[in-house]
Structure 1
Amino acid sequence: MWKLQDPQLCATIACDIYKHLRASEMKKRPSTDFMDRVQKDVNASMRAILVDWLVEVAEEYRLVPDTLYLTVNYIDRYLSGNVMSRQRLQLLGVACMMIAAKYEEICAPQVEEFCYITDNTYFRDEVLEMESTVLNYLKFEMTAPTAKCFLRRFVRAAQGINEAPSMQLECLANYIAELSLLEYSMLCYAPSLVAASAIFLAKYILLPSKKPWNSTLQHYTLYKPVDLSDCVKDLHRLCCGSHNSTLPAIREKYSQHKYKFVAKKYCPPSIPGEFFQNLGC
């Protein structure tokens, strides 16, 4: 069975940590129908454009990946209960990213930098007021398990005890998980399920002839192959369609050398159905 060697990964309490994360991910999830139920002036396409732009902002300020994931979580949780006009959607985005940066970054960008990045569309006081509104609506509950939290553990499980760490696998899984942020429809899947499915698809893309799932991954993710089927197929659709997307920020980001050019990897058009059969079948 795969073991954690790095003491900073807290091997002795990792199981308890991830058990807690799996329980709390259900409590900090946005609604899956807020576009139909709450929003009148904002739609899924506008949300996708906002997230695509925020990916560029995160790259510009070299923010850690967790900041981006938390930003999207805050946006969706806020939109789940508050009507938002399209003119103020970008304001919500920068306010949520500012909160997430304060939570995650060692040195978060100042409010003036978030005003600047919007071409000064919004004044300092507007951003601060929106920050306060979001914080109060979310009751200052800023800790939220995202797909990125689970990916760290799942990537190590995927690499196995006898395998050298694969940067390609890690980058490709991160690319696939990040693509899911653009899609409003992906909110129906729990973050841990998205992370596990991203690992499944990344392994398949890198080695299409081999079954992506094994007993080690099942043990650490708590997901069987059949549990992943719908989410993997949706991620596969996103991956195959990313070449023609009008929102290129994530694809361009992961086409860089530092991410091993994983966005340029060939994505097979279909996944064999037997790969979703439970282990031992």
Structure 2
Amino acid sequence: SNDQVACNEQEVSEQYLTAEVVKVHGVKRKISSLDFEEYEEDIVKHQRITETQTAKPYLHKRTHINDKMRAILVNWLVDVHDKCELSPVTLHMAVAILDRYCEMVDVKRNQLQLVGVTALFVASKYEDKNSPTVQQ
């Protein structure tokens, strides 16, 4: 039983070695994914609901981008996301950034992939500890 406890303590300790130090109400403390495990399912549900409720009005206003082109781009972003081993939140954020940008700017067809990968790159800077480099 003591061996079991020691092993679990070591696992938890290893988790916290990779944790980030944040300031909460003026107090510095380490956090890791263990702190949010119980909320993970709720967070994913909320993101799915938000994504489906978010209108894509630019698809109807803009002449250069249509639903099919966006779908192809998002599928490609999923592949890039998987190859770079980014977090799921990064992909959701990248698509949200892409959609918001396309609402404001009439992106040409030949620039759409560049805008998409840039959105993924920016999202990874926010969400992932080891975000990919531009060369990757």
TM-score by length of 1: 0.31
Match for residue 104 of structure 2 among 68, 72, 81: 81
Q: Which has the higher strand share?
A: 2
1:36, CA displacement in angstroms?
Answer: 1.1
Q: Indicate how the Cα distance of structure 1 residues 63 and 9 shifts in structure 2: closer, same or farther if over 3 A, else same.
A: closer
Q: Tell me which residue corresponds to 1:46.
A: 69
Are the counterparts in 2 of residues 50 and 90 from structure 1 also a CA contact under 8 Å? Answer: yes
Matched, 1:108 2:131: yes
Query: 1-side partners of 2:75 and 2:134: how far apart?
Result: 20
Determine helix, strand or coil for the equivalent of 2:112: helix
Q: Tell me which residue corresponds to 1:185.
A: none
Q: Tell me which residue corresponds to 1:35.
A: 59
Runs of 4+ in 1 over 6 A off after TM superposition: none
RMSD: 2.6
Paired amino acid for 2:35: Q
1:10, CA displacement in angstroms?
Answer: 8.8
1:104, CA displacement in angstroms?
Answer: 0.4
Matched, 1:9 2:33: no
Query: 1-side partners of 2:124 and 2:109: how far apart?
Result: 23
Paired amino acid for 1:9: F
Q: Tell me which residue corresponds to 1:235.
A: none
Paired amino acid for 1:83: D
Q: Which has the higher helix share?
A: 2
Gaps of 5+ in 1: 1-6, 114-281
Paired amino acid for 2:75: D
Q: Tell me which residue corresponds to 1:64.
A: 87
Q: How many corresponding residue pairs?
A: 95
Query: 2-side partners of 1:9 and 1:68: how far apart?
Result: 19
> Could you list the per-position Cα deviations for residues 136-177 of structure 1 after superposition, in whole angstroms to 9, with x for gaps in the alignment?
xxxxxxxxxxxxxxxxxxxxxxxxxxxxxxxxxxxxxxxxxx
TM-score by length of 2: 0.61
Q: Indicate how the Cα distance of structure 1 residues 89 and 10 shifts in structure 2: closer, same or farther if over 3 A, else same.
A: closer
Determine helix, strand or coil for the equivalent of 1:73: helix
Q: Tell me which residue corresponds to 1:92.
A: 115
Gaps of 5+ in 2: 1-33
Query: 2-side partners of 1:60 and 1:105: how far apart?
Result: 14
Query: 2-side partners of 1:57 and 1:9: how far apart?
Result: 26
Identity %: 33
Paired amino acid for 1:35: L
1:30, CA displacement in angstroms?
Answer: 5.3
